[in-house]
Structure 1
Amino acid sequence: METSVLKVDPTNPESDVIGRAAAVIRSGGLVAFPTETVYGLGAKGLSAEAVAGIFNAKGRPSTNPLILHVSDASEVLNVAADWPATAQTLAARFWPGPLTLVVPKRDSVPHIVTAGGPTVAVRCPNHAVARALIRAAGVPLAAPSANRSTELSPTHAGHVLKGLNGRIAMVLDGGRCSGGLESTVVDVTGEIPRMLRPGLITVPMLEAVCGRVEVGAKSEGVARAPGQMAKHYSPRTPLALCATPTDALTSAARARAQGQNAWIMAPDSKEFDQLDEGADILSALPERYGAELYDVLHMIDGAEHDIVFVVLPPDTPEWAAVRDRLTRAAARE
């Protein structure tokens, strides 16, 4: 299969380009497209056969559910059997945006989308290309990140092609994704909302709207949302997590003395003021760090380092998504 790459205006997408991509979706094919978080890999969300193509292209385990994307909140009842008051409150505040809500599913949602579970994860993305594609296709789009399973998420069209070239029909190249981290996922089926995956919308932001929010998935057999695997979002280069800049500098020096090509990745801090080589220094602001993270990890993968020592950012709500991605990226299995 030859993967077509079509340039598209990220703010005012051309109707002919969107039309071509929507035709691929309607025919059961796969199209990668930009969102405000990362590039997604879209298929007809209510077609089990089309969705199976996502799992095949990514090498994704069937136990890892997908998110259904809608172009407007009014469309959720096409896939949700119930829309709790908390869902309505959160959607009114954060949609369109990087928030996924887990709700009871309609029978029309194929089991392959939900890993056989009774709930479905739904999101309305805040990106002109994504919403135009959903509207033109006329169906909710099942769309995980457009990468091979467990590997780094893509924030550029080039990242998509690294893993999926020849495995999918089309990529809509809308430039760089602004957010850089996958959406926050919140289960609203219980009395108290529960964050299943941290993202750009933090616990304090949620609690300011809906009150107390619990954190962490329950052990209940069937995953209700993606992003729960211990190893996920991972580069090929091994990562070693360090608590402080001093730990990273010491560990890197030791590894280099043993002949390893060691690298450091860390938020900007005074400890690295004099470090002019051997490190990628990211922003000390969580939003900017998150936007840079996958791009830097993709570049690190292309540099043939033996190991990268990663300084974990502070253990605060604002950094929760970054720490989550780094922890999963560093996991061995």
Structure 2
Amino acid sequence: MAAELVEVFPDNPDDRVIDKIVNCLKNGGVIIYPTDTVYSMGCDSSNVKAVEKLCKLKNIKPSQNKFSIVCSDLRDISTYAKVSNEAFRLMKRLLPGPFTFIMPSTGDLPKILQTNRKTIGIRVPDHKVPNLIIQKLGHPIITTSVKDDIDDIVEYPNEIELLFDQNQHKVDMIVDAGWCGVIPSTVVDATESSNIHVLREGLGDLGDI
């Protein structure tokens, strides 16, 4: 069965459409959804079966996942990550925005997302659609970029027709919010307060770090 394709206007999302997306997630669905960087694939972080399905789609074991979670604002972050004062000050300046912060995880992180690294990536995107989804869901959603690895070149498809053709039999829903981007987030390692540094240069402005 092909994925359901739903259209949402990023500047003025329809509550009924957001409710439909949230219901899909609550029922264990895996979705492709827009962010302020690239289109991403994800599910309800608290739904074990959904996370297992996402891991299977990415061909990884749950214990080896490198997923990040998307929160709607800074208030939720301390539940899942141990945030140093230095990291918090930086996040307060940069979020919402195109950054992923890697930090030590807390015991409240869903067990299926806990790895031997004992870290978690945190995103707070500057995009109304995922933020509204998370607020209505009541849980963070997982994020992992939708990407193609072709001849060692990583590409991030952003055309809905292509995303649908490639993923219609993999995921349960594809959220069409128009053009996203093709540059992923900047990844910041904030696991040590004394050594906060950039792991991957992406869309975020490095001048602020």
TM value normalised by structure 1:
0.57
Question: Superposition RMSD on alpha carbons, in Å?
Answer: 2.0
1:154 aligns with 2:154: no
1:145 aligns with 2:137: no
Tell me if structure 1 keeps the 8 A contact 2:80–2:108: yes
Query: 1:194 deviation in Å?
Result: 2.0
**Aligned pairs, number:** 204
1:201 aligns with 2:170: no
State how far apart, in whole Å, the 2-side matches of 1:5 and 1:147 are.
19
SS state of the match for residue 143, structure 1?
Answer: strand
Query: 1:132 deviation in Å?
Result: 1.0
SS state of the match for residue 145, structure 2?
Answer: coil
Instruction: Indicate the percent of aligned positions where both proteins have the same amino acid.
Output: 28
Partner of 1:189: 191
166, 170, 174: which one aligns with 1:163: 166
Partner of 2:121: 121
Q: Letter of the 2:169 partner, please give it.
A: G
Partner of 1:67: 68
* Cα distance, 1:86–1:154 mapped onto 2, change above 3 Å: farther
SS state of the match for residue 23, structure 1?
Answer: helix
Partner of 2:53: 53
Partner of 1:319: none
Q: Can you give the 5+ residue segments of structure 2 that lack an aligned partner in the other structure? A: none
**Which moves more between the two structures, 84-93 or 121-130?**
84-93
Query: 1:147 deviation in Å?
Result: 4.4
SS state of the match for residue 44, structure 1?
Answer: coil
Q: Letter of the 1:188 partner, please give it.
A: A
* Higher gyration radius (CA): 1
Query: 1:86 deviation in Å?
Result: 2.0
Tell me if structure 1 keeps the 8 A contact 2:80–2:106: yes
State how far apart, in whole Å, the 2-side matches of 1:34 and 1:90 are.
24
Partner of 1:10: 10
Cα offsets for 1:255-276 (capped at 9, x unmatched): xxxxxxxxxxxxxxxxxxxxxx
* Cα distance, 1:61–1:148 mapped onto 2, change above 3 Å: farther
State how far apart, in whole Å, the 2-side matches of 1:110 and 1:8 are.
29
Which structure's residues are more often strand, by fraction? 2
Q: Letter of the 1:98 partner, please give it.
A: P
* Cα distance, 1:141–1:89 mapped onto 2, change above 3 Å: same
Tell me if structure 1 keeps the 8 A contact 2:55–2:65: no
Q: Letter of the 1:162 partner, please give it.
A: D
Q: Letter of the 1:9 partner, please give it.
A: F
State how far apart, in whole Å, the 1-side matches of 2:115 and 2:74 are.
23
Q: Can you give the 5+ residue segments of structure 1 that lack an aligned partner in the other structure? A: 207-333
Tell me if structure 1 keeps the 8 A contact 2:147–2:157: yes
1:83 aligns with 2:83: yes
Higher RCO (Cα < 8 Å, 6 or more apart): 2
Partner of 2:28: 28
Tell me if structure 2 keeps the 8 A contact 1:147–1:160: no
Cα offsets for 1:74-113 (capped at 9, x unmatched): 1112211x21112211211111110111111122324543
Tell me if structure 2 keeps the 8 A contact 1:31–1:43: yes
Query: 1:33 deviation in Å?
Result: 0.8
* Cα distance, 1:5–1:47 mapped onto 2, change above 3 Å: same
State how far apart, in whole Å, the 2-side matches of 1:10 and 1:143 are.
18
Q: Letter of the 1:189 partner, please give it.
A: T
TM value normalised by structure 2:
0.88
